[in-house]
Amino acid sequence: MITTDDKNLLMTQIGTDVTLLSFLSAISVFFVGALLPKFDSLNLTVKIPISFLIVSTLAFFFSALILSNANQKIFMGDSVRAKEFLMWGYAISEYLGVFLFVLSVPLAISILTADTYLRVVTFVSAILGLGFYQLMGFSLLESQFTKSFGWLSVLTLLLGIGLFVSQVLAFHFTPAAVIFLIYIFFITCLGPVEKFQ
């Protein structure tokens, strides 16, 4: 049973998280809005980063809704359903939201500029930031995949590197993007399921 103080603390934390997700959604919408008018004809090397940003935006939006609905379950004392809502909300925001957003920024920068320095700095910053976030234990991967989070973290980074390199070299970018999306959907769907933890 959750005490009143614990309920209030959890509901406050969820409110903070919903605010952060709304802010991240706004940033993602900004990138989409900045990219769309730049191109008269969109080929796949442009469409894929934009679609990643759109999926990321919607993931932030829907995870915020799910987390908001968790507040109602907590208020009603339904801790089982509240936990389920929280696990799904956080998984969607992390994997479909944060991972796609962070890895789509260097892809978007690559289509906006041919400047090698800016492209490399953006890519290295994104990969190092995501790597630090994951390997230092801040990511949900560690808590949702307790036995396999290390190799999943490395796989996420390798797929992100492969995605960027395939875009820059114009070498099988679409298949690389499809593989990356399948992987992200896979961990998003399995993350909240307790038997896979």
Of the pLDDT bands very low, low, confident and very high (cuts 50, 70, 90), residue 195 is low
Is the pLDDT score of 54 beyond 60? yes
Buried b (16+ CB within 10 A) or exposed e, 34-56: ebeeeeeeeeebbebbbbbbbbb
Across 71-75, average pLDDT? 86
pLDDT tens-place string over residues 17-26: 889 899 999 9
Alpha helix segments (H runs only) across the chain: 4-35, 44-76, 79-91, 100-112, 116-135, 140-144, 149-168, 173-190
pTM of the model: 0.87
Evaluate if residue 114 carries a pLDDT over 80: yes
Nearest to 141 by CA among 176, 90, 101: 90
pLDDT of residue 6: 77
Q: What is the mean pLDDT of the chain?
A: 88
**How many whole angstroms separate alpha carbon 27 and alpha carbon 69?**
23
Residue 32 binned pLDDT confidence (cut-offs 50, 70, 90): confident
Instruction: Check whether 55 has a pLDDT greater than 90.
Output: yes
Residue ranges per structural domain of the chain = 4-196
